[in-house]
Amino acid sequence: MESLIILVFVMGYLAITLEHNLKLDKLIPALIMMALCWAFIALGIDAFNNWFDTSSHSLVEGFASLAHDDKMHWVEETLLHHLGKTAEILVFLLGAMTIVEIIDYFDGFSTIKSYVNFKSKKKLLWMFSILAFILSAIIDNLTATIVLISILQKIVKEREDRIWFAGLIIVAANAGGAFSPIGDVTTTMLWIGDKVSTMMLFTYLFIPSLLCMVVPSFIASFLPAFQGEIELDSEEDKPKSPYGATMLYLGLGAIVFVPIFKTVTHLPPYVGMMMSLAVVATFAELYSKTKISLTYFDPTESYAHGHHSPVHHSLSKIEMPSILFFLGILMAVAALESLGILFNFADSLKENIPLLGTELQGTKVSDLVVIFLGVGSAVIDNVPLVAASLGMFTEPIDDPLWHFIAFSAGTGGSMLIIGSAAGVVAMGMEKIDFFWYLKKISWLALAGFLVGSLSFVLLRIII
């Protein structure tokens, strides 16, 4: 039965990675995989000899000799535990996504476009790289990529030029998301799972992440694609709402407030995110109502919707397929963890792969394993890889291993355009060819990844 569950997981995983070839949204195999894995566990529970207790990070002693009802009790308790932990991540993401949609409702991101008053391609490259790096740390790398490519489309007319900028935006956004607990789904998973803290994550990963952005951008600035000037539009787009800038700063500030709230109260991050959402939503409702009066009403403006509620509109724009995908993949990985498969696999890795000098810091896991994880995240989705690592390793909070995993999984996906959510959305928005990216951008991303990884190893020795 255990082999059947592994087969279901592998087949589901394969379907996820071949999403574009199969023309099948990845949430479908993720949900099927989750349901089948847990169904087979319930049906064949008497055949299993091992069960992993997440609370103690160890196998349950004498599980094979337990009665059927006792084993089912373990299944129910474990399933409820993992659902609770997964729900924390999903509710957190729902709050962040809603705040970003509220900002966009008021066209707040158009404020960024107003700062572009130069024509140099090289300056524009650095501006978008730095913006992607900073924004992704605040509103996550996926959203930052969508926002910046939308702005890019209004600034750069030629698609041949835009796709070069888009490629470097992907690299910079993934780098920026790695050092922030709210910058990437995988980093958020580690943060909510109490594997990393905000301060130590920043301490360990800011410099490696910065180098991962700076090195590719610096090399690219000498390439022919970024020489010369662009032609700016003669007419500037006027903001659709007078509250755009206010909502931009308020929304970004509210998201940044979440790690502070967690540090002060020691409550789960989703509680702070819900508070931030409530504050942003309150101002959004107040501002939207001030625009509907007897003396002024423009039905052509984006914030004048039939229900006159920016919150309702923003909630309707949330990308629910992504939320359901995360639910499916996280719960499917939890099934493998519960059977002790990931725990045993981690032990075999520790025994068979040579250490690369990590003994000095007391780290038991080879750097090579984590680097392979980063390379693997370029081929397959990094969410299940990090989810698996949570079940494989038992190192304490802020162990260098977790920070290296956060960096490797977050930035390694840049090496292929399908290796990260930011790359996939950019691929769709600009119709970027897989092989064009492989030829033109992948080597730049690899250079940044290797320099960043080396700087992390050196920084870990110093710290």
248-280: pLDDT as tens digits:
889 888 888 888 888 888 888 889 989 999 999
Q: Which residues contact 354 (CB under 8 A, 6 or more apart)?
A: 366, 368
Q: Which tokens sit at 398?
A: 């802020």
Give which of 94, 261, 89, 265 is closest to 190, Cα–Cα: 89
Task: Quote the pLDDT of residue 248.
Answer: 86
33-77: pLDDT as tens digits:
999 999 999 998 888 888 877 766 677 888 888 888 988 999 899
Distance in angstroms (rounded) separating the CA atoms of residues 142 and 176:
11
Pairing of β 58-59 and β 52-53: antiparallel
**Per-residue DSSP letters for 243-270?**
THHHHHHHHHHHHHHHHHHHHHH---HH
Cβ–Cβ under 8 Å, residues 185 and 326: yes
Task: Quote the pLDDT of residue 203.
Answer: 92
Task: Quote the pLDDT of residue 384.
Answer: 67
Q: Which residues contact 303 (CB under 8 A, 6 or more apart)?
A: 105, 106, 240, 241, 288, 291, 310
- Show me where the domains of the chain are located: 68-463
Site of tokens 């700016």: 232
pLDDT by 10s per residue, the chain, length 463: 888 998 998 898 788 777 777 888 888 988 999 999 999 999 988 888 888 777 666 778 888 888 889 889 998 998 998 899 888 888 888 888 888 889 888 888 777 777 777 778 899 999 999 999 998 898 788 778 878 887 887 788 888 888 999 999 999 999 999 999 888 888 888 988 889 998 999 999 999 999 999 999 999 999 998 888 877 655 455 546 788 888 888 988 888 888 888 888 888 888 998 999 999 999 998 888 755 443 444 444 444 444 468 888 888 888 788 788 888 888 888 888 888 776 676 666 666 655 443 443 444 456 787 888 888 778 766 776 787 777 777 788 888 889 999 999 889 989 988 778 788 778 777 878 878 998 999 999 999 999 999 999 898 888 7
Distance in angstroms (rounded) separating the CA atoms of residues 297 and 291:
7
**Per-residue DSSP letters for 367-408?**
HHHHHHHHHHHHHS-HHHHHHHHHHH--PPTT-HHHHHHHHH
In whole angstroms, what separates CA 189 from the centre of its chain? 9
Distance in angstroms (rounded) separating the CA atoms of residues 423 and 433:
11
Task: Quote the pLDDT of residue 63.
Answer: 86
